[in-house]
Amino acid sequence: MTGTSSRGTGSAESGHARHLLHQMLRVRRLEEQCVELYSAAKIRGFLHVYIGEEAVAAGVMSTLGPDDAVVATYREHGHALLRGVPAGAILAEMYGYVEGCCRGRGGSMHLFDAATRFYGGNAIVAGGLPLAVGLALADKMSGRSRVTACFFGEGAVAEGAFHESLNLAALWQLPVLFCCENNLYAMGTALARSESQTDIALKAAGYEIASWSADGMDVLAVEEAARRAVDAVRAGGGPHFLELRTYRFRAHSMFDPERYREKTEVSRWMERDPINSLRNALEAAGQLTEKDWKSIQQDVEAEVKAAVEFAEAGTLEPVEDLTRFVYSERSPQ
Amino acid sequence: MKTTYREAMRAAIRDALQRDERVFLMGEDVGAYGGCFAVSLGLFEEFGPERIRDTPLSESGFVGAGIGAALGGMRPIVEIMTVNFSLLALDQLVNNAATLLHMSGGQFNVPLVIRMTTGAGRQLGAQHSHSLEGWYAHIPGLRILTPATLEDARGMLWTALEDPDPVLIFEHGTLYNVAGDLADDAGPVDISTAAVRRPGKDISLITYGGTLPVVLDAAARLAADGIDAEVLDLRVLRPLDDAAILGSVAKTHRAVVVDEGWRSGSISAELSARITESAFFDLDAPVGRVCSAEVPLPYAKHQELAALPTAERIVAAAREAVGARG
Ligand SMILES: Cc1ncc(C[n+]2csc(CCOP(=O)(O)OP(=O)(O)O)c2C)c(N)n1
């Protein structure tokens, strides 16, 4: 079964829509800040920003409950933030400080947070999919009605782990929501140059998984599709698959000279900026005043500013702790 | 009680399933087929398909799912048919199982046990005969066990399941039919120390897993010649029991390491280096090594035997070490 969900209806309660706008802006501003900090050499390593794709994380994340689990990739600052990991802990992690969500051991690509059941932060393309299947298996075997949402790019679709995971999840009817963030490029490789079948939802349907695609630039459309899927998964309907058609506005990483796509293509997509689109739609419908927007912006600026201050005040993990947590501190003899 | 290595292993799995409802066994053909080495024979009927879970041929998928299930609070035992096939799951083993705890700053334990067969000696050709446990012993974050005796086959699993970290258990294919006596009340054993299987004073023969019986055979032959060899069974390849290794060498002043892996970059290379680093002045002879020939393991019986550490080769290496001085 595959289908395309309708575009956002705009019928969503306006307070909720403003909330989604706020969430998307939080991700946007945090990451713009990251880029600045990166350019200032405050944070290092690989940095992959999500700018342009915020509707995906915001739409899906708003349908999950606190007991659900999230597995994400190396482009996961937004997922972590919207899952509830504090912005300060995310930034401090990128600074490499012990106050970071992984004591500075993970960095940008490896954010983890037990409190919010955020299981990474996986820098191996498709490496998180089997984990999500296993988390869902544990829930199913324990009789818990929890959902594991697994985010990955369309590049992951070519990996064996993708196919093994979809097969297992469908075979065992596990409560997983697969969320493919199809931004059309895996680094510089366009989808059509890597897949014989470019309709990813159709490919997933081949595993007898209910699969839908949605406009990943429209947070209301993403949320609607995700809510339907999450409800079905939670009701015991087995795995569901969402293909969210989106676009990243920035380069793959801070090292990418972006030779593989035309500037005009990027600017065409930027006209569909998920934040501007929702803002404009809400304003046109009289559901967002200039004052509302200002207050959302102020909120976000304050949050990001506080996060930077938190990170700046961070400290280094003592080198004596280097080998802690290679093994647990309570190993049996 | 008379039993075999295979039955001891099965008893350990049954025991684990009975004691903790979070435990389940998953792998290719562990269920209806009874396990490709018949280790889980009968458990499918006893515990049902939920807990004795057949998986598709997808090592990366089900090993990763085992890691996820462990993260989710279960205590999975994942069986990989042989170490050769575990290479298809290397990503999950190395990039996830071994790293998640450290990378997450101590937040995410992976209490997972993975069992797999290793080793040659059954004329199965290169793709079913390699001994790669030394590779896994290279990886921080994993604990590597090599049960060589009935006690360890029976007792290591339970302790491994209590370990909050990922444990890999390597079962040598030639050991499954080994029969012997096992105490009726045999229970959990420690998974951190090496064990002296034969005390001796002239030389330390250090080994593990499938070559333990071969080394014991060699030691008996040496005894007939008046050479009193101590046989040390490593039991755990990571973390290594340095105290036992160095203690034995301090006593005997000579060592030969026997390892079915290839010599270059092997666990025996590591042992030789550790002994040289820490016990150089105890040594009366260079540390010897008896490993597999550096070839993909051949099918033909004579060639396979020629490639493996045999009692003859061990005896020769031990004689050389003892003859080296004094
Ligand atoms: C197994 C693996 N191979 C290659 C890489 C290098 N790499 C990092 S990101 C990437 C592209 C992934 O694209 P996609 O899955 O579409 O995600 P996106 O970056 O578009 O979000 C590649 C090839 C990797 N991290 N892991």
Residues B36-46: tens digit of each pLDDT: 999 999 999 99
Answer yes or no: do B104 and A102 touch at CB < 8 A: yes
pLDDT tens figures, A26-59: 999 999 999 999 999 999 999 999 999 999 999 9
**Using CB atoms, which residue from B55, B108, B162 is nearest to A112?**
B108
Low-confidence ranges of chain B (pLDDT < 50): 325-326
Q: How confident is the model at residue A8 (pLDDT cuts 50, 70, 90)?
A: very low
User: Which member of B7, B59, B230, B270 is catalytic?
Assistant: B59
Question: Is the minimum CB–CB distance between A217 and chain B shorter than 8 Å?
Answer: no
Non-local CB neighbours of B76 within 8 Å, separated by 6+ positions: A134, B23, B24, B25, B26, B66, B69, B70, B112, B113
B71 CA to chain A: closest CA distance, Å?
7
Amino acid at A304: V
Q: In what order do the strands lie in the sheet with A2-4?
A: A2-4, A210-215, A240-245, A176-182, A148-153, A69-73, A118-122
Which whole number is the average pLDDT over A185-195?
A: 95
**What pLDDT is recorded for position A11?**
46
Question: Residue A236 gets which letter from DSSP?
Answer: T
Alpha helices by DSSP H, listed for chain B, are 5-19, 43-47, 59-71, 83-86, 90, 100-103, 133-136, 150-162, 212-224, 242-252, 267-279, 301-307, 311-323
Which candidate, B181, B186, B300, B202, places its Cα nearest to that of B254?
A: B202
**What pLDDT is recorded for position B32?**
94
Q: A55 CB less than 6 Å from ligand 1? A: no
Amino acid at B126: A
pLDDT of A300 over the 80 cut: yes
**What pLDDT is recorded for position A4?**
53
User: Which member of B7, B28, B79, B128 is catalytic?
Assistant: B128
Non-local CB neighbours of A20 within 8 Å, separated by 6+ positions: A58, A59, A62, A219, A220, A223, A278
A215 DSSP β-pair partners = A245
pLDDT tens figures, A209-254: 999 999 999 999 999 999 999 999 999 999 999 999 999 999 999 9
For B52, the token pair is: 């004795």
Answer yes or no: do B106 and A164 touch at CB < 8 A: no
Dihedral sign for Cα atoms in the order A242, A4, A1, A235: positive
CB-count burial class (<10 Å; 0-12, 13-18, 19+) for A10: middle
CA–CA separation, A125 and A156 (whole Å): 6
**What pLDDT is recorded for position A330?**
80
Strands B167-172 and B143-145: parallel
Q: A155 CB less than 6 Å from ligand 1? A: yes
**What pLDDT is recorded for position A3?**
55
Q: A115 CB less than 6 Å from ligand 1? A: no
Strands A210-215 and B288-292: unpaired
Share of chain B above pLDDT 90, in %: 99
